[in-house]
Copies of this chain bind each other. A is one copy, B any other.
């Protein structure tokens, strides 16, 4: 089904079919050099995960000097380079910066990309990024991505080869065919090798879904912590808090430096999610001790159980 290609000096490897049919085929690796642009927690973890998964090509890093130092020390990248030099050499370009920086990088790297190169990213919203890539990446390919993972602490020092294991890794192809190009199949192979579970959806669907599953929970956690901050003044009041409040304020620890861009690039969907949650809270407040409250608890518990299956 797939042509076995061999080049001098490059041994053929096994690749699973990206169709999930379980078929395994030989193919020469096309991705021999990876450029990770933004070697923070996600970027450096991707480097470590690639190496742990058996990737034996070269990993270049592009980032700020302290982030590059940490990534080199952790062994997440082999070499630190300026953006243009890294992109010129890479078969796969992995943009793991903040959304604003990803949009900037997409604007400038077009002319430097190799014709066969694949650009992917880890941005938390996808519509604006995919649209920017459509305008800027010509003569190469772009496949948007969003690994659903993270940690409270940021930076390459926190990088972890297992960060993607058992996590969904969303891909947002502009068209379904974009998943079935040779470099996309090879990227899918490595994504699966990190232990992640790929899931494809359109950029618009991604943004609507994460507004509900990620951005709304963040804002509820932030609103809860901000509400309590002004109302629980005495230190002993905090001692009255059980483990439930710890769960509900963990997201509130997140930095606005990441969230400013997310809210900016997903305004409509976040606004709509917030409106729905406010409406639900107003309904609960109006029927604090009514049967509607019982129904809300039952609906909510069923959803929370379904989420855990």
A170 nearest CB neighbor, chain B only? B240
Closest CB-CB distance, A198 to chain B, in whole Å? Answer: 10
| A22 CB–B CB distance under 8 Å | no
- Name A246's contact: one of B220, B226, B282, B307 (CB within 8 Å): B307
A223→B293 CA distance, assembly (Å):
10
Q: Choose, from A26-34, A47-55, A86-94, A227-235, the stretch at the interface.
A: A227-235
Closest CB-CB distance, A238 to chain B, in whole Å? Answer: 5
A235 nearest CB neighbor, chain B only? B306
- B-contact bits for A263-301, CB 8 A (1 contact / 0 none): 110010011011111101110110011000110111111
CB–CB A220/B224 < 8 A: yes
CB–CB A248/B282 < 8 A: no
- Interface set, chain A 205-241, CB cutoff 8 A to B: 206, 209-210, 212-214, 216-232, 236-241
Main secondary structure on A side of the interface with B: helix
Which residues of the other chain, B, contact A256 by a CB distance below 8 angstroms?
293-294, 297-298
CB–CB A212/B231 < 8 A: yes
CB–CB B222/A300 < 8 A: yes
Closest CB-CB distance, A2 to chain B, in whole Å? Answer: 28
Closest 10 CB pairs of A and B: A225-B300, A256-B297, A229-B303, A252-B300, A252-B304, A217-B248, A148-B242, A249-B304, A222-B300, A213-B241
